[in-house]
Amino acid sequence: MTAKSVQQERITNVDALRGFALLGILVVNITAFSSPYYGLGVADPAFAAPLDQAVRFVVAFLFETKFYLLFSFLFGYSFTLQMASAERAGEAFVPRLLRRQAGLWAIGLAHAVLLFHGDILTTYAVLGMVLLVLRNIEEKTALRLAFWLVVVTALGWAALGALATLDPMPLDAAALLAEGEAAKSAYLATPGSVIAQHLAELSNVWVVIGLMQGPCALAMFLVGLVAGKRQLFVQLDDYQPLLRRLLAAGMTVGLAGAAFYGWTSVYGIGTGWELPGLAVGLLTAPLLTGAYVALAMLAFQRFRRLPEMLAPAGRMALSNYLFQSLVCSVLFYAYGLRLMGEVPPLGAQLIAVAIFAGQLALSRWWMGRFAYGPLEWLLRAVTVAAWPRWRRDAAPVRQ
C-alpha cells in the first residue's frame, strides 16, 4: 500500500468515526422525541416496566454525555483541516471561519426552532469562535485547559448535589408529570404549537448548555485541536500506545462512571443521587469517549468493510444530523404521525436503528454522485463565498 493510499484510508477512518457518532447521537435524541418526560427528572408513567427501564439505563449508560463529546472532538480535529484548506486556497482563515460559524449558527437556530430544541449546532457555532481565538495555544496548555474545564464542571454539579443533600427539597412528581403532559399536548396539537413549545423550552436550555454541554464540548474541541495538529489519524501507527491507554482507562474508570450515572439517572430518580451521578458521569465521560475512539480504530483495522460502510454517512454528517431530526419530527410530532408517548423505549431504539440503516444506504448513494451532502454544500458556499461544484466529478475539498 502506498503512502498516499494509507493517508486516504486514515481520512476515511475519520469520516467513519463521524458516521459512528451519528448513531450514538440518534440513540439519545430519539429518546427525547419519543417521550415528553425525557430530562424532566421523572419516569414516563406510560412505560415504567422493567424492560422500559432497562432500555433507558443502557441508553444513559453507554450513550448519553458520550457521543456529543465524540462529535466535539471531531469538530476540533476538523478545525485543523479547515485551517489547512484555507492555506491551500491561499485565503485568510479568519474570514472563512467567521462565515462558516455564522452559517452553522443559522442552520442550528432553524433546527432548534423547527425540529429539535436540543440542537447542538448553535453551541458549536459559538464555541467555534472561542476555538478560533485559542487556535495557536500551546498543546500542553490546551490539554490542561481541557482537563480543568471538565473537572470544574463536574465539581460544580457535585457541589450542587451536596447543597441539595444539605437542604433537600421534596420531589414534586405531580408538577413534573403535569409539565410532561403539557409538553406532550403541545407537541401533538399543531405544527405551530410544536414551534411554540420549542421556543418555550429553548428559554431554559441555557442551563444545560452553559453549565454542562458548553464547557465539556469546548474541552473536547481543544483535545481535537491537539489531535489534528499532531495528525493523530494520519500517523495512527505512532499513537498505538496512546490508544491502548485510552482503551484501558475508558473500559475501567470510564465504564464504571457511566454505569453510576446511568443507574442514578434511571433507577435513582427522586433519591437525591441524580446530581452526584451527573457529576461522576461528566467527569468520566471523556474517558469512555476516548475508549470509543480507540475501539473504533481497532474495529476499522480489523473489519475493512466497516469504515467503507460508515464513511459516506460521516462525510455528510451535518445533513444526516438534521435529517434524523426531520424524520423523528414527522414520526413523533404534529408534523406527521404524532407517535410521541405511544412508542416504548425499545421500539424507539429499533426505529433509530432503522433510520440509521436507511441513512447509511442513502449516504452511500448520494456521495457516489455528489461532492457534498446538501447542507455541507450550502455551508461550504457560505464559507468560501462562492458556489462549489456540485457533482461528484469534482473532488470535494476536505474540511
Please give the average per-residue pLDDT across 329-339, as a whole number: 98
* Separation of alpha carbons 381 and 358, rounded Å: 27
CA distance readout (Å), 149 to 145, 186, 189, 221, 226 = 6, 37, 41, 11, 16
Strand partners, 340: none
* Interval 250-299: pLDDT, tens: 999 999 999 999 999 999 987 888 999 999 999 999 999 999 999 999 99
Residue range 193-207: mean pLDDT, rounded? 89
Q: Give pLDDT, residue 9.
A: 52
In the predicted model, is pLDDT for residue 397 greater than 70? Answer: no
Per-residue pLDDT, 84: 83
Bridge partners, residue 391, by sequence: 370
pLDDT at 393: 63
- pLDDT recorded at residue 399: 46
356 in Cβ contact with 19 (< 8 Å): no
Q: Indicate if the pLDDT at residue 396 is higher than 70.
A: no
Where does the pLDDT of residue 12 fall: very low under 50, low under 70, confident under 90, or very high at 90 and above? confident
The count of other CB atoms within 10 Å of the CB of residue 178 is 11
Whether pLDDT at 377 is above 60:
yes
Report pLDDT for 154.
96
**pLDDT band per the 50, 70, 90 thresholds, residue 37:** very high
Residue 333 has what pLDDT? 98
Mean pLDDT of 108-125: 95
Q: Which three cell numbers stand for residue 24?
A: 450514538
**pLDDT over 90 (residue 166):** no
CA distance 182 to 337: 18
Q: Report the percentage of the chain scoring pLDDT > 70.
A: 94
7-11, 12-16, 237-241: segment of lowest average pLDDT: 7-11
Residue 3: pLDDT band with limits 50, 70, 90: very low
pLDDT surpassing 60 at residue 107: yes
Amino acid at residue number 40: L
Phi, psi of 39 (to 5 degrees): 85, 0
Give burial (CB, 10 Å; 0-12/13-18/19+) of 186: buried
* pLDDT exceeds cutoff 60 at 394: no
pLDDT computed for residue 202 by the predictor: 87
C-alpha to C-alpha distances, 343 to 35, 191, 240, 289, 320, nearest whole angstrom: 8, 20, 43, 29, 23
At residue 368, what is the residue type? G
Instruction: Give the model's pLDDT for residue 2.
Output: 47
Q: 175 vs 152, which has greater pLDDT?
A: 152
Of residues 206 and 44, more confidently modeled: 44
- Mean pLDDT, rounded, of the chain: 91
CA geometry: angle at 67 spanning 273 and 397, to 5°?
160
The predicted model scores a pTM of 0.92
